[in-house]
Structure 1
């Protein structure tokens, strides 16, 4: 048996019982307290009839119970399905139906959202953390009377412990499955390639813990270091916490870094403790990274490229490589990742030619849930995972991203896919046709931009359309710009021509 996620949780708890593990606002928890609470929550879930290998949805914003609840699911042998709280009830309903989830744990601040899901799916049982709705209980209350030792379960390397929805690079909603072994592989990947966590280090988390930010929790747990959690990103509080908590590492998306640079306290904040500014998720505007390095020093900046299907780091751009044309690259392949550039047939492309990135890694997902055809498309016969990203490898071994095999938009670190925005726009009775692309934006890197043709005799404003989409999709998916046109660009066979639209919007 290889090392499992469960074993790594247990090791950290054994080695550092009295050290501070989690800090959230005025609350702090030792390793022992997190370990005990996670065990009690695991027993509480079992007491509610949730069985090992069941899928359980977690509807939680960042908070004091984020880590204990994740650990509880692992200790109970559950397959957790995190729900991004920014998504709509309709989007979550679809996710729950696709995965057959029967139980949801929700944060007290999301009780109304949970109730709306319950109305859509009456058979689902909802358990609150400090709250309850009809048909469910407060899991924290149940946990109070439970044992502080973990449930006795037997786990296997390939037990699925995380099913994480991602649109990936195809725009089709799919659920990547990670196992006991692959998640342990993710932890090792981070420690080997990105960050050498020390005993007294502390990482500040402002981005959602269900995504890349949460991957850093286990490496810090294993080294007896602190995880400092913010409910959400706020530039003022973020800068203050760097100083107050003597933060040594932060994980940013480009938009967050840009907002910090624009803050009046950026240059005068004491960042003497800060050793690493780690960033990824979307391309970093050159002007932003150059200004940040000039003020905070090049030696602090680390870039990673990875995917939900193979987290966290496929390649890493180290501080000493943050210069010249290399600022446009995503670094060199990681030591525990095999990487090839291939053509559509799966053959290696000639050196210096563009090819699709294919990888093999211990951190690689098991596959997508209930998607045999998609898995057959994404995995080669000899086990390489296609990323659908196209890149070129230079003579020094640095990977340069060239294009995507889809029209995915990355705005503020979030993936947005044109089709779902177009579908929402087409629901409006005044819209006859539309096309959505990403356009360059100094703050968000890319702005969701819609070209809309209106039916004859109809009138609709830009603001009305943006608000209409916001009623159907998450806020970050709304168009930031709407351009009214007589007709949208199409190919010769009548398909939407997004390249032509992007070219048109540049002029």
Structure 2
């Protein structure tokens, strides 16, 4: 086993990768080419700069930026000194980001200055952030931010020995990250996971999908998501791949990049491949370098898998299923599985992980009988930050995590997700939680009740639809309502359709019956 794969902490992964891959290209970001050796030097420099800012082991440090090389350096640096990474979704508004920064007690924030016409630091101006001491601007600079180069220069104040001492105090059981995921309660919860378990699952994942040294890995999945972070740059560093980050998903840009950069590995949501297959100029691009595709648990047509193989040239196509609560990985197809199996299942359990489906009384279901999907293994989170009650609700005494997803296991242990207990749906690769949107909609003037469901959408998989009950005597203008929603929440959460009702369908307990709303649609 190469020394890289023996790493027990993320700092060791960077250091071992520098030894193993040396002058090989680690990152190629729009012309900024960084070797493995240079990447490790940058990580150490940024880590010493964080020590100069007095960041302690156990502190939280957030990154709010698109897929750029500085993201990886900042994350590796903060994890090297025992801080926990808190990634923020670039689509969040100031109030959404502010909530997570407060909840996590983030002390230092790395942020993009301006992205897609938005001034990110300014979005936080009105937020009360008592624990936040410094904002470092990864690109660009602002009045209250420390520019990236000025930040790196702080490393000169801290001797290398101080960094070595701190690194030695970080072990495999140290907290590596806090990824916030929305639950049925509507408020995002911080999922706590450790260095060692993340590295082990990433090692197994990259082995199964067959990542190779020298692979050119186009990462379209956002770094703030466990797929883009763990199955993305962490896996790439472990196997000696070249990371080619893409900031915004744009089909034309992907086609040009695959041809120009000779991309071999291209994971993404089903919408990515559907968009590539449907592109009118696809035939004009040389996509012959493509080898590995990995996509998520959303149902995909068997025909699409065949076309990915025959028209896009992928030799390995696998589907997978995971949750933030299990380090992002639970089941995965294996290379060589039939197109039918890849399209209709999410694979079988990862090595060292158990999956079963149970009835509502907790009995294990026989093959091909639906039940709630339970997961057990070394990859389970430590729990939710500051929320032992929610942790106990999802983790039982025998060590099983209750996913809230309904699934079926076949005789060979391949999992098919059939429904979601929690009403969550997936829009273009993003998990969408109706309860979170509903809470926001109740702030709109004149809304007495709100209910949200996912409705089918050819391009995005599913999109939100809102049902509104106006307060007595109020009239809701749908155009103004949707415009308001766009200001309040990330675009993927914004309802695409709105229906105003005279009465909400309720069950005996007085709760809105979502199935009745689905029938209305």
What TM-score do you get using the length of structure 2 for normalisation?
0.90
Alignment check: 8 A CA contact 2:288 2:313 kept: no
Identify which of 88, 91, 116 aligns with 1:86: 91
Q: Which residue of 2 aligns with 1:371?
A: 387
Alignment check: 8 A CA contact 2:198 2:379 kept: yes
Identify which of 465, 469, 485 aligns with 1:449: 465
Structure 1 range deviating more: 450-459 or 255-264? 450-459
Identify which of 176, 181, 194 aligns with 1:161: 176
Q: Does the alignment pair 1:61 with 2:66?
A: yes
1:311 deviates by: 3.3
Q: Does the alignment pair 1:435 with 2:444?
A: no
Sort the Cα spacing of 1:300 and 1:266 in 2 relative to 1 into closer, same or farther, 3 A: farther
Sort the Cα spacing of 1:44 and 1:86 in 2 relative to 1 into closer, same or farther, 3 A: same
1:479 deviates by: 0.4
Identify which of 112, 116, 126 aligns with 2:119: 112
Identify which of 73, 94, 99 aligns with 2:78: 73
Q: Does the alignment pair 1:197 with 2:211?
A: yes
Superposed counterparts of 1:48-447, under 5 Å: 48-109=53-114, 112-121=119-128, 123=130, 124-125=132-133, 126-144=135-153, 146=155, 151-152=163-164, 153=166, 154-168=169-183, 171-193=186-208, 195-211=209-225, 212-215=227-230, 216-280=232-296, 282-285=298-301, 288-289=304-305, 291-297=307-313, 299-318=315-334, 320-324=336-340, 327-344=343-360, 346-447=362-463
User: For 1:267-300, what per-residue CA distance to the aligned partner results, in whole angstroms no more than 9, with x for missing partners?
Assistant: 3321211111111153335564454445225743
Alignment check: 8 A CA contact 2:302 2:340 kept: no
1:369 deviates by: 1.0
1:325 deviates by: 6.7
Report the 3-state secondary structure (helix = DSSP H, G, I; strand = E; otherwise coil) of the residue aligned with 1:278: strand
Structure 1 range deviating more: 117-126 or 47-56? 117-126
Report the 3-state secondary structure (helix = DSSP H, G, I; strand = E; otherwise coil) of the residue aligned with 2:224: coil
Alignment check: 8 A CA contact 1:4 1:180 kept: yes
Alignment check: 8 A CA contact 1:5 1:183 kept: no
1:58 deviates by: 1.3
Q: Which residue of 2 aligns with 1:495?
A: 511
Instruction: Compute the RMSD of aligned alpha carbons.
Output: 2.4
Alignment check: 8 A CA contact 1:202 1:249 kept: yes
User: For 1:414-442, what per-residue CA distance to the aligned partner results, in whole angstroms no more than 9, with x for missing partners?
Assistant: 11122222233222223333321111111
Distance 1:97 1:292 in 2: 43
Structure 1 range deviating more: 424-433 or 281-290? 281-290
Structure 1 unaligned spans of 5+: none
Identify which of 4, 7, 16 aligns with 2:12: 7
Structure 2 unaligned spans of 5+: 1-5
Distance 1:4 1:386 in 2: 28
